[in-house]
């Protein structure tokens, strides 16, 4: 069936999935295969309503405005009288432009950057209290000069349309410019090298298998059920519960050979204790999803072992970068990652709340504050 590239937001939520694009687009800011976005639109996270603007992903979802507020201020607010009511009042149905499966906001090529904010505002048409353009790159070393220039021009246009700019998270990456694990570890401090080598001692007790997406085993429901269950174990451990992916999304992704996905499976004897799902795109290995079986994954230091395995795989296959994702910047810094940042452009329908959010915007920059404090520390 042929489907349009754009839907209007007048479409009832329960009918929206029938109007989503089924073809892949060449997006700006693309670090992952476009098919991943297609599966996100077809199988959005629980509670999300997905739609497309000129083929680019967007969605409605309930959103806690305090999600990325710095920890100290969030704790102070929680101690205030009536804080429970305040927390409920600050949970809004929100329109997002972007996706939760892409590192950056993927934009299609149809609009000039100075036209795009108005186009988004028109599509949103004040149908929720908040509109957020998420994960706008900020001079990313992983993108082209043209893509970074487009993003900067878009941000300038957002300011003219009264958006509030908020710092996003720190995206971790490692250039693959070393010939061995030893050369990579030699760049770290002596204390970190010793600690990491100690954690890697259990490596020989594990068996690692790498399976490509589209493999016949992903037709087996019991295999898919086990992988999804391990994903849920990690999701349950997370402090922020925003986008719970669905079994249908995992099934579609794992059965899609065109995504060039690599599932790293970690076994102790016959038991699967964890996995790491990555994608090869633009000559980079992009780390997306993990599933861990606790406590075994911790007992075998699987986070650290999988990091080194991913680096070794990228090196062995001539890739230029390992892109390690947004979470746990402290741990990834310890492991030798570099970081690049994003911005979010926020439009608040209520002018009073907009003024309040503008004054508080610096308190939503915990990753940037962490990075700045780290930079001030002695080497």
Q: What CA–CA distance (Å, rounded) separates 363 from 70? A: 6
Q: For position 17, what pLDDT does the model report?
A: 42
Q: For position 167, what pLDDT does the model report?
A: 84
**Quick check: 340 and 142 in contact, CB under 8 A?**
yes
pLDDT in tens, the chain (379 residues): 333 333 334 333 333 443 455 566 789 999 999 999 999 999 999 999 999 998 899 999 988 766 655 556 556 666 666 556 555 556 788 999 999 999 999 998 778 999 999 999 999 988 988 899 999 999 999 999 999 999 999 999 999 999 999 888 889 999 999 999 999 999 999 999 999 999 999 999 999 999 999 999 999 999 999 999 999 999 998 766 789 999 999 999 999 999 999 999 999 999 999 999 999 999 999 999 999 999 999 999 999 999 999 999 999 999 999 999 988 888 999 999 999 999 999 998 877 676 666 665 555 555 555 555 654 443 3
Q: How buried is 161 (Cβ within 10 angstroms: 0-12 exposed, 13-18 middle, 19+ buried)? A: middle
Domain ranges of the chain: 13-170+341-376, 177-319
Q: What CA–CA distance (Å, rounded) separates 98 from 59? A: 8
- Map tokens 């075994």 to a residue: 296
Q: What is the pTM of this model?
A: 0.86
Q: What CA–CA distance (Å, rounded) separates 142 from 282? A: 10
SS3 277: strand
**Which DSSP string corresponds to 165-187?**
EEEEEEEEEEE---SSHHHHHTT
User: Checking DSSP bridges between strand 284-292 and strand 49-53, what pairing results, if any?
Assistant: unpaired
Q: For position 63, what pLDDT does the model report?
A: 85
Q: For position 378, what pLDDT does the model report?
A: 39
Query: CATH classification of 177-319 is 3.40.190.10, yes or no?
Result: no
Q: For position 185, what pLDDT does the model report?
A: 96
């Amino acid at each position: 069936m042929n489907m349009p590239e754009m839907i209007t937001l007048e479409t009832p939520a329960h009918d929206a999935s029938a109007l989503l694009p089924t073809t892949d687009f060449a997006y700006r800011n693309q670090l992952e295969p476009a098919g991943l976005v297609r599966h996100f639109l077809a199988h959005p996270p629980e509670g999300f309503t997905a739609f497309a603007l000129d083929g680019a992903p967007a969605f409605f979802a309930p959103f806690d405005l305090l999600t990325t507020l710095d920890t100290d201020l969030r704790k102070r607010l929680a101690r205030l009288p009536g804080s429970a009511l305040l927390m409920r009042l600050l949970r809004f149905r929100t329109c997002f432009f972007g996706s939760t499966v892409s590192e950056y906001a993927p934009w299609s090529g149809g609009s000039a950057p100075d036209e795009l904010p108005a186009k988004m505002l028109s599509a949103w048409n004040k149908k929720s209290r908040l509109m957020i353009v998420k994960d706008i790159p900020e001079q990313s070393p992983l993108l082209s000069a043209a893509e970074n220039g487009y993003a900067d021009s878009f941000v300038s246009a957002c300011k003219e349309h009264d958006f509030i700019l908020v710092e996003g998270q720190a995206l971790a990456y490692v250039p693959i410019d070393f010939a061995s694990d030893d050369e990579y570890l030699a760049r770290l401090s002596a204390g970190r090298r010793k600690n990491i080598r100690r954690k890697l001692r259990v490596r020989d007790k594990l068996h690692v298998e790498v399976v490509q997406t589209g493999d016949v085993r992903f037709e087996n429901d019991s295999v898919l059920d086990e992988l999804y269950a391990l994903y849920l174990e990690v999701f349950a451990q997370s402090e922020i519960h925003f986008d719970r992916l669905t079994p249908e999304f995992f099934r579609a992704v794992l059965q899609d050979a065109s995504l060039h996905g690599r599932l790293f499976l970690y076994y102790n004897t016959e038991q699967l204790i964890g996995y790491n799902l990555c994608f090869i795109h633009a000559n980079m290995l992009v780390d997306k999803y993990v599933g861990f079986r606790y406590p075994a994954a911790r007992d075998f230091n699987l986070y650290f072992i999988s990091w080194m395995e991913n680096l070794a795989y990228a090196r062995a296959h001539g890739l230029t970068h390992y892109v390690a994702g947004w979470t746990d910047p402290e741990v990834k810094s310890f492991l030798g990652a570099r970081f690049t940042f994003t911005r979010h452009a926020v439009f608040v329908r209520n002018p009073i709340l907009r003024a309040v959010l503008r004054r508080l915007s610096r308190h939503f920059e915990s990753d940037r504050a962490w990075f700045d404090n780290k930079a001030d520390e002695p080497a």
